Every structure is written in structure tokens, then in C-alpha cells.
Amino acid sequence: MDTGLTLAQFRTGLIFYFIFIASLCIREWARAWTIDKLGDPNPAAQGRLTLNPIAHMDLFGSVIFPLVCIFFPASGIVFGWGKPVIPNPSYFSNPKRGEVIAALSGPVANFLVAFGASVFFGFAHRISPATEQLYANVLLVNIMLAVFNLVPLPPLDGGVLLKHLVGMSEITFYRISQWSLLVWLAVIWLNPVQVAFITAMNLCSMPFELIYRLIA
């Protein structure tokens, strides 16, 4: 039995990947911009205040891993990440508040893209209903990125929020961060974890889908 990709499947996968990369780069740019405005000069010095995808892409997290997830799916979830934009809280007037704002900036950016897409594609649907699938992909990718990064596990954004919520020490945060990605990539394939993750995505998608339906 032929298990190869058809041309249509390959094209659909590439479109999804380009949406993924664009959304990922918007997220990382928003994070870099926020950290810069908070007073940290490092994002500018590292060339991260740009929407150029190359500045934000990680070979494994932005290319290899998401492409494998898209074209050789073991589940309905596509994961990936960009080069981290790590703030230096010593530059912030209020280090704790600055770290929290920086952590929230990425997910907020993805939610704003989801909102903008819901409005834009809602009107676009009136002209061409065929745009609905493109909207569904944009919404899926941005909600997926937001929820993934809000998982309360260092060094993800949710892990930073957890650190300040429970008063976690920097050394504990660092030690957990060293192994957390491997642990997360292992447990995400477990069915209960996938169900919880997809449920969270569905709940976060509902307000945006409602906006889209009201406009369309």
C-alpha cells in the first residue's frame, strides 16, 4: 500500500508550515519588542527586533521537529519553538513584574493574531467561503502556540509565571529547565495529556470562533 504524500497533501502541509513559522516569528518578535521596551537592550543587540523569520528560527524547533509533526503525524498536535529571547531582569525597573510581562507577551501576541484573523477572515468569508480552511489553520496554530507556552513548566512562559507564583528559586528554575523539554516531549504522547491539551485549545478557541461566526 502506498503511504507516500500526494501533491495536495504536500501543498497543504507546506501552507500549514508557513503559517506556523509566521505565527512563531510574530510571537518571538513581540516578546523581543516587549523586553526591549522594558529596558533590556539585549534583544536589539541580538537582532531580534525584526519580523525576519531567520532571526527567530531554531534549526530543530522551527524546522525539523514541526515538519516531522506535519508530514509524519503521530497525533493531531504540531510542536515547535524559536530561538529563545531571554530577558535580563536586572535591566527592569521592577524585575518580577518585568519577567511576568515578558512571559505573557508571547501568548498575548498569539491571541491577538487569532483575534485579528477572526475579524479579517470573517469578512473574507463573505466574499469567498473557501477562505475558511485558511482561517482554521491560522487559528489552530496560534492557539496551539499560546497554550503550549502557557504550560506551567520551566522554561516555558507558564513556567516563569509559576516561578513567581510559588516563589521558586532561580537555581531550581534552571535545574528544571535543563530537563523539562525532554520530559514534556515524552509525556505529550500520552493520551490523557493530549486530551487535556486539546481540551484547553478548544476552550481558548471558542471566543475567536464566535467572533468569526458573528462576522461571517
pLDDT at 96 over 90: yes
Q: Determine the Cα–Cα distance for residues 181 and 185; give it in Å rounded to an integer.
A: 6
What are 26's three cell numbers?
Answer: 510574530
Share of the chain above pLDDT 90, in %: 77
pLDDT at 17 over 60: yes
Q: Is residue 1 part of a domain?
A: no
**Average of per-residue pLDDT values in the chain:** 92
How confident is the model at residue 1, as a pLDDT?
40
Q: Is residue 2 part of a domain?
A: no
Q: Which own/partner contact pairs does 47-55 have at CB distance under 8 Å and 24+ positions apart?
A: 48/83, 48/85, 51/25, 51/26, 52/25, 53/21, 53/22, 53/25, 55/25, 55/83
Q: How many domains does the chain have?
A: 1
Compute φ and ψ for 82, nearest 5 degrees.
-105, 180
pLDDT at 4 over 80: no
pLDDT band at 81 (very low <50, low <70, confident <90, very high): confident
In this structure, are residues 149 and 142 in contact, taking their beta carbons and an 8 Å threshold?
A: no
Q: Determine the Cα–Cα distance for residues 157 and 165; give it in Å rounded to an integer.
A: 12
How confident is the model at residue 75, as a pLDDT?
60
pTM of the model: 0.92
In this structure, are residues 21 and 62 in contact, taking their beta carbons and an 8 Å threshold?
A: yes
pLDDT band at 2 (very low <50, low <70, confident <90, very high): very low
In this structure, are residues 163 and 154 in contact, taking their beta carbons and an 8 Å threshold?
A: yes
Q: Is residue 182 part of a domain?
A: yes
Share of the chain above pLDDT 70, in %: 97
Domain interval for residue 113:
7-215
- Out of 72-76, 168-172, 184-188, give the one with best mean pLDDT: 168-172
How confident is the model at residue 189, as a pLDDT?
78
Q: Determine the Cα–Cα distance for residues 153 and 113; give it in Å rounded to an integer.
A: 24
